[in-house]
Amino acid sequence: MDKPSSKLEELDSSFLKMVESPLQYLHKGVLKHPFYEHLFNGDLKEKQFTYFLNQQERVWRFLSEEMILLSKLNYPKCIKRILIQNAQLSLMSAGGLSIQLDKFKGTPYNLTAACKEYIGFLKASIEKRLFLSILTAILPRFWLATQLHKRCLRLNTYNHPYKQFIKHCTSLDAEEQTVRIIQSLDQLIQTISKTERAEIQQLFLDAALHECELLNEAYKHGNSS
C-alpha cells in the first residue's frame, strides 16, 4: 500500500462503491459549490476568500497535529506510515494557506462556527482511535484536495486574482495519498457488518456535509454585508 499502483479514477474500490451516494454529493454539492465557481472565475470577493483561507488553514493544521499524535500510538508500522504521510500533506497544505493569509491586511479571523463544528466532528472521530473511522472521516478532505488539484491544472492563472491559491492547489498533489487511504479502507471494510457499513456511510456523508458547510459559511460571509 506504500506505493499505490492506480490513479484515483482507475481504482476499482469496494469502499467507494459503498459510499457512492455521499461521494456524488461531495462532487456536486461541494466541488461544484458556487464558492468555487466564483473563486475560479476570479470574481469572488476578497473577504470571502480570506474567510475561506482561515477556515481551511485551521482544519488542515488540526489534522496535521492529530495525525502526528496518532502516529505515536501503538499502531502497526503500516498504519503509522499512513498517519505520518497524512500529517505531512496536511501540514504542507496548512503552511501554504497560512502564507497566503498573511499577505492580506486586516485582523485575522477567529475560529468560525462551521470550522469549530467540523473540527469537533473530526476530533470525536479521531478520539475513538479506530482506524476505519479515522480514515473515513478524513477521506472527503483528501478526495477534494485531489479533485481541486486536477481542476486547477486546467486553469489559466494569467492575471487571475487568486493565482497563488490555484498554484497552491496544483503544487499539493494529494492523489497518491488519497489512493493509499482508499486502499486501506477497502481492506478494513471486508469484515464489517451491515450495521457498521451503514455507520461508515453516515460518517462519510457527515464529513462531506461539514465540507459543504464551510463553503456555505464563507460564501454567505461576503453576501451578508
Does position 1 have pLDDT exceeding 50, yes or no? Answer: no
Q: How far apart are CA 72 and CA 51, in angstroms?
A: 33
Q: Going by C-beta distance under 8 Å and a sequence separation of 6 or more, which residues neighbour residue 1?
A: 78, 82, 180, 183, 184
Strand ranges in 88-141 using DSSP code E only, listed in sequence order: none
User: Which CATH code is given to the segment(s) 8-223?
Assistant: 1.20.910.10
pLDDT greater at residue 104 or residue 158: 158
Full-model pTM? 0.93
| Buried/exposed code over 107-137 (b: 16+ C-beta within 10 A; e: otherwise) | eebeebebbeebbebbeebbeeeebbbbbbb
Which grid coordinates are listed for 218? 464563507
Mean pLDDT in residue range 123-152? 96
Domain boundaries, the chain: 8-223
Percentage with pLDDT > 70 across the chain? 94
Instruction: Give the pLDDT of residue 210.
Output: 98
Residues in the chain: 225
Q: What are phi and psi of 156, to 5 degrees?
A: -95, 115
pLDDT tens by residue, 24-43: 999 999 999 999 999 999 99
CB 85 within 8 A of CB 93: no
Q: How far apart are CA 220 and CA 223, in angstroms?
A: 5
Q: How far apart are CA 114 and CA 16, in angstroms?
A: 26
pLDDT, mean over the chain:
92
Instruction: Give the pLDDT of residue 6.
Output: 55
Task: Determine the residue type at 6.
Answer: S
pLDDT tens by residue, 189-216: 999 999 999 999 999 999 999 999 999 9
pLDDT tens by residue, 101-123: 888 765 567 889 999 999 999 99
Report the 10 Å Cβ neighbour count for 167.
16
Q: How far apart are CA 86 and CA 68, in angstroms?
A: 9
